[in-house]
Amino acid sequence: MKNVTRGFYAPGGILLGYGRNSQRAFLALLLTFIAGLTAGAAVADEMSLLVNGKAIHINTPAGRNLNENNWGLGLQYDWDLADSKWRPFATVSGFNDSNHNPSYYAGGGALRRFQFDGMHVDLGAIGFLMTRKDFKNERPFPGVLPVLSVGTRNIALNVTYVPRVEPKGVPLLFFQIKMNLGIFQ
């Protein structure tokens, strides 16, 4: 008999416990993320809270009911390189995916910043390791996706495009709100 660990939701929809493989992979990636952040001195670098919340599926086949409320939380650390228009970042996050299952990822990338007065538009890519209940038996798998971020220093909207990646996959736009943790001090 297969031993299945069922997850549950805390108030507010935050995911709390699903398969041990996912938990271990996510914990290892989170600890690596934290260790990397504490290894160097910060100058004007920024730590932000990510609030995952919405997916818009593109050309969903008739009869498919996909979850578009992808609630979850994460962190993003942005390095501010002096005299550079590039913003490297590291991120870790968990959310409720399109099939109502937990999904966790950790990774990093770089964004090209275009500054307009107090606003910015960032365009770049993220490379990551992700775990999903319904893909590769919850074993971490790599991916690279394009990212767009529009906002101010304190708050921004992150948008990631996810193409069709498997025969039953549906392309989507994934939305996050990014809030600089400095605004809470």
Residue predicted with more confidence, 124 or 15: 124
pTM for the whole structure: 0.76
In a domain, 161, yes or no: yes
| CA–CA separation, 21 and 25 (whole Å) | 6
In a domain, 56, yes or no: yes
List pLDDT tens digits, range 76-113.
Answer: 999 988 778 999 999 999 999 998 999 999 999 999 99
In a domain, 35, yes or no: yes
- Contact indicator for 176, 158 with CB cutoff of 8 Å: yes
The domain containing residue 27 runs over which residues? Answer: 21-184
In a domain, 58, yes or no: yes
Q: How many independent structural domains does the chain possess?
A: 1
- Backbone dihedral angles phi then psi of residue 131, each to the nearest 5 degrees: -120, 140
In a domain, 99, yes or no: yes
Closest CA to 76 of 149, 166, 139: 149
Give one DSSP letter per residue of 134-168, joined into a string: TBGGG--EEEEEEEEEEE-SSEEEEEEEE---STT
- Contact indicator for 122, 112 with CB cutoff of 8 Å: yes
List pLDDT tens digits, range 13-72.
Answer: 334 444 555 555 555 555 555 555 554 444 468 999 999 999 999 988 888 889 999 999
In a domain, 7, yes or no: no
In a domain, 123, yes or no: yes
| CA–CA separation, 81 and 157 (whole Å) | 21
Residue predicted with more confidence, 126 or 168: 126
Residue predicted with more confidence, 185 or 56: 56
> Stretch 136-143: mean pLDDT, rounded?
88
In a domain, 14, yes or no: no
Domain of residue 123, CATH code: 2.40.160.20
